Amino acid sequence: MKMELRKTFQFEAAHLLPRLPKAHKCRRLHGHSFKVEVVVSGECDPKLGWLMDYADITAAFKPIWEKLDHRHLNEIRGLENPTSEVVALWIWQRLKPKLPLLAEIVVAETCTARAVYRGG
Ligand SMILES: [Zn+2]
Protein backbone atom coordinates (compact mmCIF):
# COMPACT_ATOMS: atom_id res chain seq x y z
CA MET A 1 0.00 0.00 0.00
CA LYS A 2 1.65 3.20 -1.21
CA MET A 3 0.79 6.17 0.96
CA GLU A 4 1.65 9.82 1.39
CA LEU A 5 1.81 11.75 4.68
CA ARG A 6 1.62 15.51 5.01
CA LYS A 7 2.77 17.35 8.13
CA THR A 8 2.38 21.10 8.44
CA PHE A 9 4.64 23.50 10.33
CA GLN A 10 4.59 27.25 10.74
CA PHE A 11 7.27 29.81 11.32
CA GLU A 12 7.30 33.59 11.55
CA ALA A 13 10.00 35.45 9.67
CA ALA A 14 10.94 38.69 7.97
CA HIS A 15 12.38 39.00 4.50
CA LEU A 16 12.80 41.24 1.51
CA LEU A 17 13.47 40.33 -2.09
CA PRO A 18 16.55 42.37 -3.07
CA ARG A 19 16.58 41.47 -6.78
CA LEU A 20 13.17 42.99 -7.50
CA PRO A 21 12.71 46.53 -8.84
CA LYS A 22 12.88 49.19 -6.13
CA ALA A 23 9.18 50.05 -6.53
CA HIS A 24 8.01 46.46 -5.93
CA LYS A 25 6.39 46.03 -2.50
CA CYS A 26 8.32 42.80 -1.82
CA ARG A 27 11.57 44.75 -2.06
CA ARG A 28 10.64 46.34 1.28
CA LEU A 29 11.27 44.52 4.55
CA HIS A 30 8.11 42.71 5.65
CA GLY A 31 7.05 39.54 7.44
CA HIS A 32 5.01 36.41 6.88
CA SER A 33 3.59 33.56 8.89
CA PHE A 34 5.14 30.96 6.63
CA LYS A 35 3.54 27.54 6.46
CA VAL A 36 5.65 24.57 5.44
CA GLU A 37 4.15 21.26 4.41
CA VAL A 38 6.55 18.33 4.58
CA VAL A 39 5.37 15.43 2.43
CA VAL A 40 6.75 11.90 2.65
CA SER A 41 5.73 9.05 0.41
CA GLY A 42 6.37 5.32 0.21
CA GLU A 43 5.16 1.85 1.05
CA CYS A 44 3.35 1.38 4.34
CA ASP A 45 4.67 -1.13 6.82
CA PRO A 46 2.03 -3.90 6.51
CA LYS A 47 2.26 -4.85 10.17
CA LEU A 48 2.24 -1.35 11.69
CA GLY A 49 -0.19 -0.04 9.09
CA TRP A 50 1.68 3.23 8.71
CA LEU A 51 4.31 4.79 6.53
CA MET A 52 6.24 6.41 9.36
CA ASP A 53 5.78 8.16 12.68
CA TYR A 54 4.70 11.81 12.34
CA ALA A 55 6.91 12.48 15.36
CA ASP A 56 9.95 11.47 13.29
CA ILE A 57 9.02 14.08 10.68
CA THR A 58 8.76 16.70 13.43
CA ALA A 59 12.10 15.66 14.92
CA ALA A 60 13.83 15.87 11.52
CA PHE A 61 12.35 19.28 10.77
CA LYS A 62 12.93 20.85 14.19
CA PRO A 63 16.58 22.00 13.71
CA ILE A 64 15.60 23.55 10.37
CA TRP A 65 12.59 25.25 11.95
CA GLU A 66 14.84 26.71 14.65
CA LYS A 67 17.05 28.28 11.98
CA LEU A 68 14.02 29.94 10.34
CA ASP A 69 11.60 30.94 13.09
CA HIS A 70 11.65 34.62 14.14
CA ARG A 71 14.60 35.32 11.84
CA HIS A 72 15.43 37.77 9.12
CA LEU A 73 15.72 35.23 6.31
CA ASN A 74 18.08 37.35 4.18
CA GLU A 75 20.73 36.96 6.90
CA ILE A 76 20.76 33.15 6.61
CA ARG A 77 23.41 31.65 4.35
CA GLY A 78 21.73 30.40 1.17
CA LEU A 79 18.69 32.58 1.71
CA GLU A 80 20.08 35.91 0.58
CA ASN A 81 17.22 36.04 -1.95
CA PRO A 82 14.52 34.31 0.12
CA THR A 83 11.63 33.77 -2.26
CA SER A 84 9.27 30.94 -1.31
CA GLU A 85 10.84 28.92 -4.11
CA VAL A 86 14.36 29.38 -2.71
CA VAL A 87 13.18 28.64 0.84
CA ALA A 88 11.52 25.40 -0.36
CA LEU A 89 14.75 24.26 -2.04
CA TRP A 90 16.82 25.29 1.01
CA ILE A 91 14.58 23.21 3.30
CA TRP A 92 14.65 20.25 0.88
CA GLN A 93 18.45 20.20 0.77
CA ARG A 94 18.67 20.04 4.57
CA LEU A 95 15.79 17.68 5.18
CA LYS A 96 16.21 15.07 2.42
CA PRO A 97 19.38 13.51 3.96
CA LYS A 98 17.53 13.04 7.25
CA LEU A 99 14.20 12.05 5.73
CA PRO A 100 14.83 9.77 2.74
CA LEU A 101 11.09 9.36 2.08
CA LEU A 102 10.77 13.13 1.53
CA ALA A 103 8.73 13.68 -1.64
CA GLU A 104 7.64 17.30 -1.56
CA ILE A 105 8.12 20.60 0.26
CA VAL A 106 5.41 23.24 0.13
CA VAL A 107 6.16 26.76 1.34
CA ALA A 108 3.22 29.12 1.69
CA GLU A 109 3.83 32.76 2.53
CA THR A 110 0.13 33.64 2.48
CA CYS A 111 -3.09 31.63 2.58
CA THR A 112 -3.37 31.85 -1.20
CA ALA A 113 0.22 31.65 -2.47
CA ARG A 114 2.58 28.70 -2.17
CA ALA A 115 5.59 27.15 -3.87
CA VAL A 116 5.99 23.39 -4.30
CA TYR A 117 9.32 21.62 -4.74
CA ARG A 118 9.58 17.89 -5.51
CA GLY A 119 13.31 17.56 -6.06
CA GLY A 120 15.27 17.55 -9.29
ZN1 LIG B 1 7.22 38.32 1.28
Model-level pTM?
A: 0.96
Q: What is the mean pLDDT of residues 87-106?
A: 98
Distance 62 CA to ligand 1 centre (A): 22
Size of the chain, expressed as the number of residues it contains: 120
Active-site residue among 70, 75, 80, 85?
Answer: 70
Is 48 exposed, middle or buried, given 0-12, 13-18 or 19+ CB atoms closer than 10 A?
exposed
Q: Give the closest residue to 118 by CA, choosing from 110, 101, 109, 108.
A: 101
The rounded distance, in Å, linking the Cα atoms of 73 and 37 is 18
Q: What is the mean pLDDT of residues 58-83?
A: 98
The reported pLDDT for the residue numbered 120 is 82
Residue 9 has pLDDT above 90, yes or no: yes
The reported pLDDT for the residue numbered 25 is 97
The reported pLDDT for the residue numbered 77 is 98
Residue 66 has pLDDT above 90, yes or no: yes
The reported pLDDT for the residue numbered 39 is 98
Average pLDDT score, the chain: 97
Active-site residue among 26, 37, 72, 104?
Answer: 26
